[in-house]
A and B are shown apart, each in its own frame.
Chain A
């Protein structure tokens, strides 16, 4: 096929490409007031410029619209999320997926540290950490101190715990807490049970000295 034909076909395809890019922002049409939409679109441009995923920002704006939040509140939420996405992306480098970055941003919102995110990435350099970060977030939400939750999840990952095992652990901890146990005790009990079926540290994952030092500097178990 000649170069001219390719150029013509490329020009024909251009509108399709543009429409695909605009599909994200089109979802905001009619959902936000004019001023808020303008601010959100500027935030999306900033995300695109910095190589950050735009999807979570669109979702945050739509969440606010569905919850009938006021415009300024939506603008603030989207702007705040942009900062967390950037921090999560940097902490999860070098190869985070958009889902990982979103999970990292959620974890940061609940108090997880950048060092905690780096630790998860060090243990799972080529796999998704969306579930471990989600479990970390939920453990913290259940009342487990951030440092303790981070150490437990990192240790379980290092032992080769699978995503579904981490989710089961979180579900059990929540059940025990709902039944009256303290979050830390519930986590200790359930972690011992899971450790019994996992290989010892170092046998299935990354050596402990590969982890950032800050990971071990949290509050100690009494």
Chain B
């Protein structure tokens, strides 16, 4: 959400919109400004006020001033926003890497099997119930995160969730009652004494 808020797009659009609201440009205004800039560049020096002033002193000089100010503001805003986006994006990456043991950190790209690519995995429960949800080590054991949907006219409930490869423990909450998947291996639980079900996820 933070990244979306920092995207440069909306600011650029606002700058363009502001420019569009200006009155039509008059005659040779642009060519006079460009010519003054070219002369100063040829002299390898900052634009001379003597060169620019005649251009800005034209009948629509306030227009040129507004264009310059808005353009400068737009450039600063866009550059700043892009920089901010890069900084915050880099922060996110750093945080992710920091979760990996620093002495043994390895980029995900070194895993040719795509270790970090979640694999869509379907869970199916068969039974009468008012509500069925899925809890497991892949959804923070959150009873509200992953509800199953009932197939109309049947007792089959299902949901498909992306899960990383490997062994995962899960259970269903059937009308808020802890229920293991009868078709799956049982996961013993020496920590809390509440068995769950096991699924091994590999590449499809």
A183 within 8 A of B: no
> Per-residue 0/1 for A89-125: is the Cβ within 8 Å of any B Cβ (1 yes, 0 no)?
1000111111111110010010000000000000000
Give the tally of cross-chain contacts (CB within 8 A): 168
Of B116, B164, B188, B200, which contacts A170 at CB under 8 A? B200
Would you call A147 an interface residue if the criterion is a C-beta within 8 Å of the partner chain's C-beta atoms? Answer: no
- Count chain A residues whose beta carbon lies closer than 8 angstroms to a beta carbon of B: 70
**Stretch in contact with the other chain, from B19-27, B31-39, B65-73, B83-91:** B83-91
Q: Please indicate the chain B residues that have their CB under 8 angstroms from the CB of A54 in the complex.
A: 99
B113 surroundings in chain A (CB, below 8 A): 127-128, 163
Contact present for A17 and B110 (CB under 8 Å):
no
Chain B nearest CB from A201 CB (Å) reads 21
From the candidates A1, A20, A66, name the one contacting B95 in the complex (CB within 8 A): A20
Count contacts on B: residues with CB < 8 A to the other chain: 55
- With beta carbons under 8 angstroms apart, the residue of B99, B111, B190, B201 that contacts A55 is B99
Smallest CB separation, A46 vs chain B (Å): 13
**A196 CB-CB contact with B under 8 Å:** no
How many angstroms between the C-alpha atoms of A17 and B203 in the bound complex?
33
Known: A95-B110, A130-B165. A167 touches B200 (CB 8 A): yes
- CB pair B88 A103 closer than 8 Å: no
Tell me which residues across on chain B come within 8 A of A128, comparing CB atoms. 111, 113, 115, 165-166
Asked whether any CB of chain B lies closer than 8 Å to the CB of A208, the reply is no
Q: What CA separation (Å) do A63 and B185 show in the bound complex? A: 18
CB proximity of A41 to chain B, nearest CB, Å: 16
A66 touches B87 (CB 8 A): no
Judge whether B178 is part of the interface by a CB distance below 8 angstroms: yes
With both chains docked as a complex, state the minimum distance between the C-beta of A91 and any C-beta of chain B, in angstroms: 11
In the complex, A27 Cα to B142 Cα: how many Å?
10
Task: Determine the chain A residues whose CB is within 8 A of the CB of B165 once the complex forms.
Answer: 99, 128, 130-131, 163
List A residues at the B interface (Cβ < 8 Å): 1, 5-6, 9-10, 12-13, 16-17, 19-21, 27, 48, 50-56, 58-60, 62-67, 69, 73-74, 76-77, 80, 89, 93-103, 106, 109, 126-128, 130-131, 133-135, 137-138, 141-142, 162-164, 166-167, 170-171, 174
